[in-house]
Chain A
Amino acid sequence: MQQTDGAPGTPGLSGADTAAAALALGDDALVLSHRLGEWAGHAPVLEEEVALANIALDLLGQARVLLSMAGDEDELAYLREERAFRNLQLVEQPNGDFAHTIARQLFFSTYQHLLYGQLAAGEGAFAPLAAKAVKEVAYHQDHARQWTLRLGDGTQESHTRMGRAVDALWRFTGEMFQPVPGVDVDWQEMRISWTATVTATLREATLAVPEGPRTGAWRAGAGRQGLHTESFGRMLAEMQHLHRSHPGATW
């Protein structure tokens, strides 16, 4: 454990740990917000245009607070290379069909709800953000859960698609419980609660709980170490292009 340098954070943690942790959690929110933003104008029903944009905005708001704890939000978002991003591989996964987007959201918002719940209850540097964000995330989780039930227990086609999405994304769920230095939560407890909650939702949605591995062929914690999947570089190219084309400009 590094020595504390007096940063407003968990006792025993350094400011550098807090900044690195803020970056990891901020990147999660930033990248998922971007993916949800890609839905604008493409949602299956108008109400979902509103809902998906709403969730994207909440996440972007969280990202801005978190990245600002780590440095300059725009520099961090727009001027880092792929290998310097610390987000989970789960959140960078392409939207796919609506079922994939919902499965990704169910997995991630369940995680975020547990994470922010614990952080809000503590006294660390993330407590103020977590106290606000946990309410937003509860809504995200409810939205994803309701859609998981509708799609899983809807038509034959939606059942098949939802099952396929859950299976496809399952391998990215183990990474979420790799401890992040500077984030003072009980990771083991998070993993148990997450699995119980998600399992209950999938069962209620008449879906099978996947039996496959929860990490890919790469080691767990890959995204947190800057090892990403192939689509991520392309996503960043689009996100950063304009900003990078005008170095030094203000917007």
Chain B
Amino acid sequence: MATAAPQQVDGATGAAEFQTAFDAAVAAEERIEPRDWMPDAYRATLVRQIAQHAHSEIIGMQPEANWITRAPSLRRKAILMAKVQDEAGHGLYLYSAAETLGTGRDELLDKLHSGRQKYSSIFNYPTLTWADVGAIGWLVDGAAITNQVPLCRCSYGPYARAMVRICKEESFHQRQGYELLLALSRGTEAQHAMAQDAVDRWWWPSLMMFGPPDDESAHSAQSMEWKIKRHSNDELRQRFVDICVPQAASLGLTLPDPELKWNEERGQHDFGPIDWAEFKDVLKGNGPCNEQRITQRRRAHDEGAWVREAAAAHAAKHSRTATARTREGRAA
């Protein structure tokens, strides 16, 4: 509860006073709640970030769903189906969190479909083999968790609470992905090669998930000040690399970076340069699957229009019937 932040009320209280109370609440690590006053830019930043996060869950279903019908054992198929289902659920949580800021799910989906809002660039890479499902679990979900755990302490209450639930499920997915790769790595020669190839293709895109370097990150400073963001992009990226290196070793797989090595002095790993030109290109819509992902999303939405219309028409008919019955009941 944001006790220090005033409720949004009509009256003569000046904006400056609201701002002071908001700043104090943020400084005191209190949660900002939907009915509290907040700066317009804070609201807009959160809508943008939460919507992008929700969109990523929804688009992120595609590269993995690509393998549901081809999963090589019934156990793996069940795990993958459950995971994709969780992602749809995460999307739902996050759209709800965004809606507490005064926007609607339909409006946000419309922005996704028309390209006015983005989703994580990672989902514009294709899943070419079964091992990619494991690499996504280990690396992509791993990077997502590294990013999202600090969001559990984000200053906006509904987002922070959504992240607590999401992170629990994500860390489960991450362990499953790791376990999938481990089975491949310890399997036949062909399976091992499949695992290594997947890690080679997903490593660098995963590092890009932390966003541009700190000196080029447009929203970072303000988001840190508002305590939406708690650590810089580069800080989180470094933390992720340091976590992954020993995990890769115990998987028996290598990471595709000749410059990757332990730096005794820093107590962290040094790693090679990221191809930011590729990152920007993918963000601009020129990644391997941008077109395909958004087309499939639009198609699902468009082809489902008649179903949503039917549900609305049915509900309207039957709520009328119910209302009429209530009226009759009252009259009698």
Residues of A within 8 A of B (CB): 30, 34, 37-38, 40-50, 53-54, 56-57, 60-61, 63-64, 67, 73-74, 77-78, 97-98, 149-151, 153-155, 157-158, 161, 238-239, 241-243, 246, 248-251
Contact = CB atoms under 8 A, between A and B. Distances in A.
- Chain A contact residues: over half helix, strand or loop, or mixed? helix
A247 to B, nearest CB: 9
Interface in B281-332: 296, 299-301, 303-311, 313-315, 317
A41 B306 contact: no
Given A57-B81, A57-B82, A246-B190, A44 B314 contact: no
Given A37-B69, A40-B81, A149-B314, A63 B74 contact: yes
Contacts, number: 141
B85 A42 contact: no
Interface string B57-71: 010011001001111
B91 to A, nearest CB: 6
A157 B306 contact: yes
Contact of A41 (B82, B296, B309): B296
Contacts of A249: 72, 187-188, 190-191
B81 A60 contact: yes
B187 A250 contact: yes
A98 B304 contact: yes
A67 B78 CA distance: 15
B304 A45 contact: yes
Contacts of A98: 304, 307
B65 A74 contact: no
Given A43-B304, A250-B183, A158 B85 contact: no
Interface of B: 58, 61-62, 65, 68-78, 81-82, 84-85, 88-89, 91-92, 95, 130, 180, 183-184, 187-188, 190-191, 296, 299-301, 303-311, 313-315, 317
Contacts of A41: 61-62, 65, 84, 296, 300
Given A50-B92, A158-B309, 4 more contacts: A42-B296, A57-B82, A157-B309, A243-B72
Given A40-B68, A41-B65, A151-B307, A77 B92 contact: no
Contacts of A37: 68-69, 77, 81
Contact of A251 (B76, B303, B307): B76
Contacts of A56: 81
Nearest to B54: A46
B92 A47 contact: yes
A57 B74 contact: no
A78 B74 CA distance: 9
Contacts of B307: 44-45, 48, 98, 151, 158
A238 B70 contact: yes
Contact of A158 (B62, B191, B310): B310
Nearest to B318: A153
- Chain B contact residues: over half helix, strand or loop, or mixed? helix
Contacts of A241: 70
A128 to B, nearest CB: 19
A45 B308 CA distance: 7
15 contacts: A30-B74, A40-B61, A43-B300, A44-B301, A44-B305, A50-B85, A150-B311, A155-B306, A155-B310, A158-B307, A242-B71, A251-B72, A251-B180, A251-B183, A251-B184
Contacts of A49: 61, 84-85, 88
A48 B308 CA distance: 11
Contacts of A157: 306, 309-310
B167 to A, nearest CB: 19
B104 to A, nearest CB: 13
A239 B68 CA distance: 9
For the complex of A and B, the 8 pairs showing the least CB-CB separation, nearest first, are A44-B304, A154-B310, A158-B310, A53-B85, A40-B65, A49-B88, A44-B307, A41-B65
A155 B85 CA distance: 29
